[in-house]
Amino acid sequence: MEQKKKRIISIIIVVTAVAGLFCIYLYARPKTVTNYSPEFEAEQEKQDGEDSESSVEPGIKIPGYKSINIDAGTKDVAVELVNPEENQVYFKISFYLPETDETIYASDLIKPGQHLYEITLDREMEPGEYPLTVKYETSSADENMTPRNGADVNCTLVVNA
């Protein structure tokens, strides 16, 4: 009887550990998104400091990318950048190469619902794959242009020959 209790306790511990590891995996796994069909990787919510009936602002939808593909030897590249229509903020999007501490692109302000399909990089890129951080800076879409939550999305820049 004592051995049976030990076996049951061991099984419960193993099942609990496996369930815990599975939950950690689901929470920490990377989101897979491409630049051809942007999905929304992060919704960030910000608390408003004022007392009101609803003190939570709408979330900011941040498009994520698994990879961004461009052609080598040109500064003018076709990449879809979008500020989802549901957002109530302006975006400023920049491309940052963390290995060289270099920003190779910075957009002007992008209104909610606006898409950019063609952008001009600061320099031509050589063929290869580069770690890339897509940095989102946000500000309120009113005359105050108050800074809001932003995000950094890590992906791969694939430069085709």
- Residue ranges covered by each domain of the chain: 1-30, 31-160
N-to-C CA span, the chain: 70
pLDDT, tens digit, 9 for 90 and up, residues 50-108: 333 333 456 899 998 999 999 999 999 999 999 999 999 999 999 999 999 999 999 99
Residue 118 has pLDDT above 60, yes or no: yes
Of 4-13, 23-32, 48-57, 148-157, where does the model show the most confidence? 148-157
Q: Which of 29, 70, 64 has its CA nearest to residue 43?
A: 64
SS3 content of the chain, % helix, strand, coil (to 5): 15, 45, 40
- Torsional sign, CA 43, 35, 65, 76: negative
Residue 9 has pLDDT above 90, yes or no: no
State the Cα–Cα distance between residues 148 and 58, nearest whole angstrom: 11
Residue 127 has pLDDT above 60, yes or no: yes
| Residue 21, φ and ψ in degrees, nearest 5 | -65, -40
The domain 31-160 is placed in CATH, from the list 2.30.40.10, 2.60.40.2550, 3.30.70.2740, 3.30.420.40, at 2.60.40.2550
Predicted pLDDT of residue 4? 83
Torsional class of 28: left (φ above 0), alpha (ψ -120 to 50), beta (otherwise)? alpha
Mean per-residue pLDDT, 37-41: 40
Percent of the chain having pLDDT more than 70? 78
- Model confidence at 25, in pLDDT bands (50, 70, 90)? low
Q: What is the mean pLDDT of the chain?
A: 81
Q: Which residue has the higher pLDDT, 152 or 26?
A: 152
Q: Which of 82, 67, 70 has its CA nearest to residue 34?
A: 67
Predicted pLDDT of residue 15? 85
| Residue 16, φ and ψ in degrees, nearest 5 | -65, -45
